[in-house]
Structure 1
């Protein structure tokens, strides 16, 4: 029981951190960005990736070592929906990540470089898509935890 509680705590903590980092990215992806903000954005994006991996790892630990066990989850359609949404969010994170990396490379050559407003708008749109898709994860989680759709 203690293991399950600690794994849930870790999973939720990483999820909250992920949301905070996603919010930070959305806040700074605006016209008027300065070179120091671009550097901070690249740090946010790296931390976002690492936190997403921690969310995945803690979720897998819950799957295999949690109280309900893998059998409960692997046969639950909401588990598969939740994983699918997580993967779609991960795929949506690629365009802004690639843009941020490209901008950082350009900033190494040109110290005063900042992205064009259209590029910022595009990257921010992808972050906002992720944020809106993220809302589906708690829905999947509560349906899964209650066994909705199980025979």
Structure 2
């Protein structure tokens, strides 16, 4: 019981950190006109990546690690599929900004000035990722309240 509670709490906290980090990175990218903005963007990007890793690890543990209702339960929950679709879209959208951040970090390490012309595009991607993260939270809270299950069988799913 304690492990289930801690995993759920860490999972939920990671959503908060993820939201704060992606909003911070997106705002930094919108304002990015010089390399002076990069430390903030890199810091937010680290937070986004770290919180995403925590979300994925705790989510897999909760859904498939025997800590919650079990894989069969989640695989039959319609909102779980919504949540996973949103996650897949977030990860697919992350490829371009992630590659840019790697290029920018490498350029800064070499003492070069990175090409920041893509920053507005990556900010727009961040906006979509933010919306998808919010969709994930709505799907998770709906699952926890049995939405999408017959006769409330899915209550307290998380």
Question: What do residues 121-143 of structure 1 show as CA deviations (whole Å, max 9, x unaligned)?
Answer: 11111111101122211221122
SS at structure 2 position matched to 1:51 = helix
Pairing of 1:13-92 with structure 2 (within 5 A): 13-63=13-63, 64-92=65-93
* Number of residue pairs matched by the alignment: 149
TM-score (norm 2): 0.81
How far, CA to CA, are the matches of 2:130 and 2:136 in structure 1? 11
Long gaps (5+) in structure 1:
none
How far, CA to CA, are the matches of 1:143 and 1:31 in structure 2? 35
Q: How far off is 1:107 after superposition?
A: 2.7
Long gaps (5+) in structure 2:
151-158
Higher relative contact order (CA 8 A, sep 6+): 1
Residue number in structure 1 paired with 2:130: 131
TM-score (norm 1): 0.84
Query: What's the C-alpha RMSD, in Å, of the aligned pairs?
Result: 2.1
